[in-house]
Amino acid sequence: MNWRYLLPYAAILALAAATAWYLHGASLPVLDPKGPVGAAELRVMIITVLLCAIVVVPVFILLFYFAWKYRAGNTATHVDHSPDWDHDNWVAETIWWLVPAAIIAFLAVLAWQSSYALDPYKPLASAAPPLTVQVVALDWKWLFIYPEQGIASVNLVEFPADVPVHFELTADAPMNSFWVPSLGGQIMVMPGMETQLNLMASGVGDFSGSSANISGDGFSGMAFTARAVTQSEFDAWVQSAKDAARPLTLDAYDALAKPSSYDPVSLYAAPDENLFETIIDRVMMPADGAMDMNNDMNMDMPSMPGMDMHSMDMRMPMPVTTAP
């Protein structure tokens, strides 16, 4: 046997060993979730991989077995060689249509059920009432508004552990995607639209978050911290923000919204009432006169009956306008 045949296998083994050594102790938040959403999403991944293995393992075995056994150099199998053999065999053919189809059928059920169960808009089951946090992706930082607490923060979202957090998200910037891998999956964050996401931490801790969608020069500096604390720590944090921080008036917001990245954590008190809705409205109707809607488009959005600009939701159909 030629030792060179073993070289690829040795290389693969060495790679696997090096990988295992490196991963020992590494932080893999997707595989080590700290909340029920991330845990359920990981479960979907694992079930899928195991079901796929039913097909993949035989494929690997057959590939190498056939390649070895029927190599031209192996004269022992030449008697088997039949150039026109087409396994004219509907049974075999049917098997390799049906086996993958059966697996995909299982996966389809999984996709359907898990899409509903893990719908990012779906409130999480919990005895505790949810905390609402409004998220605005800015160039290039995250603004978190706590409408119930009357505070706001930049690049830090703090919340009590074991309490569902209901995020409402929009952007005053190009499209972003909000991701805290330790807690669970993403939702896109788009200007002029609102999306929603529900997450919960099962224990206290600091989790890193980021934007997963390119949004311009400072995009890499959009990292933020999601911090799960105890209820009393959270209450103290809210109070400290109220006591010490400046109010987030519309002017203060406009200053904050100017492009910058790698911004340090900062806290604000008393965000402008309806700031979140105002941000969405302003994107929809630029105030800088970039376009005059009344004249150019025969569209008078604010006075249009039946249309509530404050609920321009990703799941709402776009308003249909008609010329007067």
- 190 belongs to the binding site for another protein (CB under 8 A): yes
- According to CB under 8 A, which one of 147, 192, 205, 247 is a site residue for another protein? 192
Stretch near another protein under the rule CB under 8 A, chosen from 130-138, 159-167, 178-186, 233-241: 178-186
Q: How far is the CB of 241 from another protein (least distance, A)?
A: 24
Across 161-313, the runs of DSSP E, i.e. the strands, are: 165-171, 176-180, 184-189, 195-199, 205-211, 224-229, 246-247, 266-269
Stretch near another protein under the rule CB under 8 A, chosen from 148-156, 206-214, 245-253, 268-276: 206-214
Q: How far is the CB of 76 from another protein (least distance, A)?
A: 12
Q: How far is the CB of 294 from another protein (least distance, A)?
A: 13
- 22 belongs to the binding site for another protein (CB under 8 A): yes
- 187 belongs to the binding site for another protein (CB under 8 A): yes
- According to CB under 8 A, which one of 6, 10, 17, 66 is a site residue for another protein? 66
User: Where does residue 15 rank: exposed (0-12), middle (13-18), buried (19+ CB within 10 A)?
Assistant: exposed
Stretch near another protein under the rule CB under 8 A, chosen from 33-41, 145-153, 227-235, 239-247: 33-41
- 23 belongs to the binding site for another protein (CB under 8 A): yes
Task: Tell me which long-range contacts 40-46 makes (C-beta under 8 A, separation of at least 24).
Answer: 40/114, 40/117, 40/118, 40/184, 41/118, 41/184, 41/185, 44/110, 44/114, 44/118
Between 96 and 235, CB nearer to another protein: 96
In this structure, how many other beta carbons lie within 10 angstroms of the beta carbon of residue 173? Answer: 24
Listing from the earlier edge strand, what are the strands of the sheet with 156-160? 156-160, 224-229, 205-211, 176-180, 184-189
Contact set for another protein, span 268-307 (CB under 8 A): 283-286, 290-291, 293, 297, 299
- 81 belongs to the binding site for another protein (CB under 8 A): yes
